[in-house]
Amino acid sequence: MAAVGAHQPGVCSTTPITAVGSARPHKRNVAYKSNGFGRSLSDLRRSSLCLAICGNPTIQCVASEPRPKKAEAEKAIKPIANPAADDASSVASNIKYHAEYTPTFSPLKFDIQKAYAATAESVRDNLVLRWNETYKHLHKTNPKHIHYLSMEFLQGRALSNAVGNLEMRDAYGAALRKFGYEMEDVYEQEPDAALGNGGLGRLASCFLDSLATLNYPAWGYGLRYKYGLFHQKITKEGQEEVAEKWLELGHPWEIIRNDIVYPIRFGGKVVEGYDGKKQWVGGENIIAVAYDVPIPGYATKNTISLRLWQTKVHAEEFNLDAFNNGEHDRAASAHASAEKICYVLYPGDASVEGKILRLKQQYTLCSASVQDIIARFKERSELTGSRVNWDFFPSKVAIQMNDTHPTLSAPELMRILIDVEGLTWDQAWHITQASVAYTNHTVLPEALEKWPLDIFQKLLPRHFEIIEKIDNQFMKLLLTSKKFEPSEMIDKIHHMRILHNSDVSKELKALMPAAFAAVKPPVATKAAAEEEVDEAAEKHDASQPQTVRMANLCVIAGHTVNGVAAIHSEIVKDDVFNDFYRLWPNKFQNKTNGVTPRRWLRFCNPDLSAVITKWLGSEEWVLDTEQLAGLRKYADDKDLHREWFQAKRSCKIKLAAYIKEKTGYSISPDALYDIQVKRIHEYKRQLLNIMGVIHRYKKMKEMSPKERKAKYVPRVVMFGGKAFATYWQAKRIVKLITDVAATVNHDPEIGDMLKVIFVPDYNVSVAEVLIPASELSQHISTAGMEASGTSNMKFCMNGCVLIGTLDGANVEIREEVGEENFFLFGARADQINALRQERADGKFEADPQFEAVKKFIKSGVFGTYDFQPLLSSLEGNEGFGRGDYFLVGKDFPSYIKAQDKVDEAYKDMDRWTKMSIMNTAGSPKFSSDRTIHEYAKEIWGIDTYPVP
């Protein structure tokens, strides 16, 4: 038998491996469909690649089979509305019905864009049926719900996921062929919804998929961004940002709820009525309108909602007098001010105006969502015919704050309970603390949000009052607790309170002398004591601004705080929130992140999924990923190796076609595909990766062809991700990568031994092509700085071997897949502070190889761009933007040694294929189903409620 990695002339290695034989014993009694998954790019593109690579003109792919003429096919199909359509003929009729009777395009033709819109409407019909059933069932049973608030939901394409979760790919594939279209080509007409950017948003979307699939009662809440973060273009100048246009042709998956509208207020003032109740009046008034997106579960009727808020004002806010007087901008100023809130995800906040807009976004999300949650609680409470009992609120409502962006949901809930519903402070505080929980996603300072106190107080005056009282209440708790020594008390107050660098109330100052009495000599007079307390409690640091610390508010207001990987949760307890952990140790938990195996293996990698299903004997692993561990017993089986290799190669060929289409570069499917895709950030160390590539290129140039082949394997190094528009160092890293690519990829001496690719506008749909084809993936952040990561889990699940540091979920992945199946390098998290101090003390000596790479960049070999501002961050011993804070130089030698081990391993394809299999077999823990079960049981207290 030929070696696994050997190419056999005349044999098309793109042939997919399909499951052999019987229907699976699915625990939800759904028959296994083996041939409904199509290909991720058009069959025609794949067929031409097959010819180019295999050199076999007799290969015939599906795309080359005769198809009926479109006009004839369309005439033969009758337009019949049938929301419950589940076979090819009725699905085709329903598609035709929507093409004719709910048209969004010209009636004179049925082009592929119209085919997508009509197909989406047809699928949505089915989802609406399930959606309504789910809502009625949960309305009747009235269980406790989880409400997941997130500034981001990175959904990806909805059509492919919905058809997959409905298990109707065969029916829709056959129906579309009646119109002369392939399903994959129709899928590609859908733009990704621009509602997120990175791991935070993708995690939220995976969680919604798992919540629906596992039949938990749930709502997702976010904002409907018109222009997203940005669409990334790669030019000769590096990254260019332009507005997303995902809504330009409509979004068939959303349903506007014109009856779900809530008022939102900014500014104004707080007045006290005769009854002593506070009222927030005046200011800017807008409304938030609900747009609902159905989220179907896999192999279940349960379909939950992602509710997105769009901001606007009522028509009467348009100033007709001003308009008719020619003051057109002033006439529409109220509309413009409201609508811009939902224009862009994470608008730049370097200016005061940018900070105000971001704070408006966060409050809009929180206020509209909390009002909606309360309205639903009251509606369902009143079904019994009795008065609303607010004591039951925590038994019906759980609110999860996904990072600090939704922090204002806590004071907003307090405001409504006190000012609108008339509850006492103590009642409202008890309800809030019992309902709200917080997920911390990072240790980076910029993610632990702090708002300027003056801006916050002016924009949200009532919330400032509430937070001020929470802050005072918390400091009083600190002063009367026995968790800290009296000598620590002032320091703890300054570190833990919400309102940083702000005044301390007279009541609290009166408690402080007792703290000092235990550690300081008694003072002569009462006046002297008061003076000393004032000095300790009130003296502001003029260099420090007054801020509202949102993370501290989250920890104080929430009943639970969780990290998202084992190592991250320990850092949260030992460092980020150590004082809070000492105060409330039982409040802190770990919930290691996960990803949905439906989108991230079953649907995006049908060839490998078929291999898995064949060898495990059923497709139950899609709902029970623990079964993937069963692959371990076949890890040395040569037949599995061959099929696994062929499935991987099929994905690599698809990716090669995609890269050619998007970048113009040709890459060989025989090379090692090495991929790093994530947000561009210094701590994620794309700079380390590209400097390693430069080192490799430099060494290759110094070698003869024979030496090159002996030392290295052919490799394609791919990058993807967006640099924030005002993050200049990150944008310089993108520029360096693209300049290196332009040089290396046109070097005839190197040829296919090394290629460098920057994949433009990385998003979910791009990931669905990249990840299945990956063989090595880089997760190389500075240890202790990545909370978890989820792309590492997706790569691992798809049989990709990881190279990385002991950071985030890498630690747990390495434990699960086995140390021998993970390429480890770099300093540990517990060494980082000492290493930075060593650098500051001038004791660090850079590796000569590292210095040679810097010199090579400066030589101009990669063009005339001045990279000194980027390289200077790696130089010096300390200072802002200096001193190699992220330890690129320190970890470089270890990184290069690990990459040498990668080359050695890849030369033995039997060994590498086994490593690949062991990664998939070790991935069960990293399903978001497991994560959601843990949240449900240990934080939210919710149960499953499947629709009968």
Residue 7 has pLDDT above 50, yes or no: no
Residue 555 has pLDDT above 80, yes or no: yes
CA distances from 335 to 75, 348, 361 (A): 46, 21, 15
Whether the CB-CB separation of 614 and 946 falls below 8 Å is answered with no
> pLDDT band for position 70 (50/70/90)?
low
pLDDT at position 541: 63
pLDDT at position 902: 98
pLDDT at position 606: 97
Query: How many angstroms separate the CA atoms of 751 and 747, rounded?
Result: 6
Q: Which residue has the higher pLDDT, 129 or 489?
A: 129
pLDDT at position 485: 87
> pLDDT band for position 446 (50/70/90)?
low
Residue 317 has pLDDT above 60, yes or no: yes
Residue 753 has pLDDT above 90, yes or no: yes
Tell me whether residue 921 is in a domain: yes
Query: Apex CA 271: angle with CA 266 and CA 277, to 5°?
Result: 110
List residues bridging with 233 in a β-sheet: 240
pLDDT at position 507: 77
Three-state DSSP class for 30? coil
Query: How many angstroms separate the CA atoms of 591 and 346, rounded?
Result: 26
pLDDT at position 24: 36
pLDDT at position 54: 42
Residue type for 458, please? K
pLDDT at position 520: 44
pLDDT at position 11: 34
pLDDT in tens, 868-886: 999 999 998 877 778 999 9
Q: Which residue has the higher pLDDT, 890 or 274?
A: 890
Tell me whether residue 640 is in a domain: no
Contacts 24+ apart (CB under 8 A), 517-521: 517/486, 518/486, 518/487, 519/485, 519/486, 519/487
Domain span at residue 700 reads 668-926
DSSP characters over 355-417: HHHHHHHHHHHHHHHHHHHHHHHHHHHGGGTS---GGGHHHHEEEEEESSTTTTHHHHHHHII
Whether the CB-CB separation of 439 and 478 falls below 8 Å is answered with no
> pLDDT band for position 144 (50/70/90)?
very high
Alpha helices in 181-319 (DSSP H): 183-187, 199-213
Name the burial class of residue 324, with classes exposed (0-12), middle (13-18) and buried (19+) by CB atoms within 10 angstroms of its CB: exposed
pLDDT at position 200: 95
Whether the CB-CB separation of 96 and 85 falls below 8 Å is answered with no
Least confident of 34-43, 227-236, 464-473, 814-823: 34-43
Residue 49 has pLDDT above 80, yes or no: no
pLDDT exceeding 70 applies to what percent of the chain? 89
Whether the CB-CB separation of 253 and 124 falls below 8 Å is answered with yes
Residue 119 has pLDDT above 60, yes or no: yes
Q: What are the residue numbers of the active site?
A: 441, 678-679, 684, 790, 794
| Reduced 3-state DSSP string for 291-306 | EEEEEECCCCCCEEEE
Q: What is the CATH number of the domain that holds 879?
A: 3.40.50.2000
pLDDT average, residue stretch 378-407:
93
pLDDT average, residue stretch 418-422:
97
pLDDT at position 23: 35
- In a 13 Å sphere around the CA of 450, the CA atoms on its Cβ side amount to 14
Whether the CB-CB separation of 230 and 241 falls below 8 Å is answered with yes
pLDDT in tens, 522-544: 444 445 445 544 555 554 566 68
pLDDT average, residue stretch 880-906:
95
Tell me whether residue 131 is in a domain: yes
Residue type for 570, please? E
> pLDDT band for position 67 (50/70/90)?
low
Number of structural domains the chain divides into: 2
pLDDT average, residue stretch 208-237:
97
CA distances from 820 to 777, 801, 856, 905 (A): 16, 10, 34, 11
Tell me whether residue 126 is in a domain: yes
Query: What is the end-to-end Cα distance of the chain in Å, rounded?
Result: 52
Tell me whether residue 438 is in a domain: no
pLDDT in tens, 642-694: 999 999 999 999 999 999 999 999 999 999 999 999 999 999 999 999 999 99
Give the phi and the psi of residue 456 in degrees, each rounded to 5.
-60, -45
Identify the helix (H) or strand (E) that includes residue 221: strand 218-223
pLDDT average, residue stretch 913-932:
98
Whether the CB-CB separation of 239 and 679 falls below 8 Å is answered with no
pLDDT at position 65: 45
Dig out the tokens for 786 from the structure: 């990545």
Which has the closest alpha carbon to 642: 902, 916, 921?
A: 916
> pLDDT band for position 42 (50/70/90)?
very low
> pLDDT band for position 107 (50/70/90)?
confident
DSSP annotation of 927 reads B
Cα 567 to chain center, whole Å?
Answer: 19
CA distances from 230 to 195, 343, 346 (A): 10, 11, 10
Tell me whether residue 726 is in a domain: yes
If you count them, how many residues does the chain have? 948
pLDDT at position 33: 36
Rounded to two decimals, the pTM is 0.91
> pLDDT band for position 433 (50/70/90)?
very high
Query: How many angstroms separate the CA atoms of 165 and 209, rounded?
Result: 9
Whether the CB-CB separation of 695 and 685 falls below 8 Å is answered with no
Residue 713 has pLDDT above 50, yes or no: yes
